[in-house]
């Protein structure tokens, strides 16, 4: 079991290393593409005859971790779509851009997609770009769903969000899948999907974004953001935090600046909006 986890950690590190050239090529803003990894997914210990979905516990920073599943024909899509608008996965500082089809750069993405039986709960939701959700994850989920429909077989599946250090927004997600009954002959993949959006510069530490061309011309530093400070408590909030709206006018001060500067001044980030 221990060995299994060491192998998993090594795989995640390799995956992150693969992302580095992507970060360096940031200025060109290519449409995000998946990277196919050679590694064979390891689903040791899972029984491929019974459907199950296990969501990882969120970590100390509140970030969701890997979800692992055995998917199969008996798994049904959750009936009612829960209202997930109130969920705040880490790094969710949404912004609208005219050149994105649905305007908003971020979606509340399911680790295990709803069509695969994934639940509308916080441990299954992370902040992902529109491009990651629609152009990269969805086709892979469709592939799995189609395989199950066609064969009636089961599929081992794991989705792992990969964070660089203490970043609140994951840089990528690792998708691993292997069909159970035919030991991967019918379906097997291990792919790395970047959490990026063409034309948008992302600060992965916080999740704040800015237009890529602003970033290039130095117009808006990605690290500089609008905050609301409560001068009575010394807490600062993201501008869209509901708590920021409740601060009395006397104690409310709006600030634009670097998060690190506010912390240096002795202010503390709100625990809810995690600005
Ligand atoms: Zn707040």
Are the CB atoms for 211 and 246 separated by under 8 Å? no
* CA 261 – ligand 1 centroid, Å: 17
Domain assignment of residue 235, yes or no: yes
Is the pLDDT higher at 34 or at 76? Answer: 34
Is the pLDDT higher at 108 or at 255? Answer: 108
Domain assignment of residue 26, yes or no: yes
Look at the alpha carbons of 42, 115, 13, 272 in this order and tell me if their dihedral is positive or negative. Answer: negative
Domain assignment of residue 216, yes or no: no
Looking at the structure, do residues 67 and 12 belong to the same domain, yes or no?
yes
Looking at the structure, do residues 183 and 251 belong to the same domain, yes or no?
no
Could you tell me which residues come within 8 angstroms of residue 253 by beta carbon, excluding any fewer than 6 positions away?
228, 229, 231
Q: Which protein residues have their CB within 5 A of the ion that is ligand 1? A: 237, 241, 243, 270, 272-273
Looking at the structure, do residues 108 and 236 belong to the same domain, yes or no?
no
- The residue to which tokens 């994934």 are assigned: 118
In the structure, what pLDDT confidence band is assigned to residue 274 with cuts at 50, 70 and 90? confident
* CA 93 – ligand 1 centroid, Å: 12
Number of structural domains the chain divides into: 2
Looking at the structure, do residues 229 and 126 belong to the same domain, yes or no?
no
> What is the model's pLDDT at position 256?
81
* Token pair for 243: 């708590």
* CA 43 – ligand 1 centroid, Å: 39
Looking at the structure, do residues 191 and 69 belong to the same domain, yes or no?
yes
Q: Which of 152, 167, 202 is the last residue of a domain?
A: 202
d(CA 74, CA 66): 23
CA trace torsion 117, 120, 122, 128 (10° rounding): 80
* CA 134 – ligand 1 centroid, Å: 29
Looking at the structure, do residues 184 and 77 belong to the same domain, yes or no?
yes
Residue 83: pLDDT above 80?
A: no
> For residue range 205-218, what is the model confidence (pLDDT) as tens digits?
999 988 877 555 44
How many H helices and E strands in the chain?
6, 14
Q: Which of 202, 231, 255 is the last residue of a domain?
A: 202
Looking at the structure, do residues 49 and 155 belong to the same domain, yes or no?
yes
> What is the model's pLDDT at position 20?
47
- The residue to which tokens 């969501």 are assigned: 55
Q: Which residues pair with 130 in a beta bridge?
A: none
Query: Residues 93-125, buried b or exposed e (16+ Cβ, 10 A)?
Result: bebebeebeeeebbbbbbbbbeebbbbbebbbb
Question: How are the residues of the chain apportioned to helix, strand and coil, as percentages rounded to the nearest 5?
Answer: 25, 25, 45
Looking at the structure, do residues 153 and 255 belong to the same domain, yes or no?
no
Q: What is the CATH number of the domain that holds 195?
A: 3.40.570.10
> What is the model's pLDDT at position 1?
47
In the structure, what pLDDT confidence band is assigned to residue 219 with cuts at 50, 70 and 90? very low
Could you tell me which residues come within 8 angstroms of residue 159 by beta carbon, excluding any fewer than 6 positions away?
66, 67, 111, 112, 173, 174, 175, 176
Looking at the structure, do residues 263 and 173 belong to the same domain, yes or no?
no
> What is the model's pLDDT at position 22?
44
Mean pLDDT score, 51-60: 95
Domain assignment of residue 209, yes or no: no
* CA 105 – ligand 1 centroid, Å: 21
Residue 16: pLDDT above 60?
A: no
* Residue 69 phi, psi (nearest 5): -145, 155
Residue 100: pLDDT above 70?
A: yes
In the structure, what pLDDT confidence band is assigned to residue 271 with cuts at 50, 70 and 90? confident
Looking at the structure, do residues 175 and 242 belong to the same domain, yes or no?
no
Range of the domain at 242: 223-269
Domain assignment of residue 65, yes or no: yes
Looking at the structure, do residues 100 and 232 belong to the same domain, yes or no?
no
Domain assignment of residue 189, yes or no: yes
* CA 219 – ligand 1 centroid, Å: 26
């Amino acid at each position: 079991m221990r060995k299994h986890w060491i192998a998993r950690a090594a795989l995640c590190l390799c995956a992150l290393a693969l992302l580095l050239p992507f970060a360096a090529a940031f200025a060109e803003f290519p449409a995000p593409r998946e990277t196919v990894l050679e590694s064979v997914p390891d689903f040791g210990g899972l029984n491929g005859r019974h459907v199950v979905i296990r969501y990882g516990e969120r970590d100390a920073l509140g970030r969701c971790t890997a979800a692992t599943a055995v998917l199969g024909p008996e798994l049904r899509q959750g009936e009612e779509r829960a209202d997930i608008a109130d969920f705040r996965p880490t790094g969710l500082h949404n912004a609208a851009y005219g050149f994105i089809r649905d305007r908003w750069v971020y979606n509340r993405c399911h680790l295990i997609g709803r069509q695969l039986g994934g639940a509308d709960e916080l441990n299954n939701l992370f902040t992902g770009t529109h491009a990651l959700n629609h152009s990269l994850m969805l086709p892979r989920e469709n592939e799995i769903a189609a395989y199950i429909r066609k064969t009636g077989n089961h599929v081992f599946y794991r989705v792992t969000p990969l964070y660089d250090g203490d970043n609140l927004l994951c840089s990528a997600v690792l998708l691993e899948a292997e069909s159970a009954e035919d030991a991967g002959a019918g379906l097997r993949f291990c792919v790395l999907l970047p959490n990026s959006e063409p034309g948008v510069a992302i600060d992965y530490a916080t999740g704040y974004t800015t237009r890529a061309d602003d970033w290039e011309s130095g117009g808006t530093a990605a690290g500089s953001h609008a905050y609301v400070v409560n001068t009575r408590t010394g807490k600062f909030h993201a501008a869209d935090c509901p708590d920021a709206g409740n601060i009395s006018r006397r104690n409310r001060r709006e600030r634009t600046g670097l998060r690190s500067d506010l912390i240096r001044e002795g202010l503390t980030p709100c625990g809810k909006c995690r600005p």
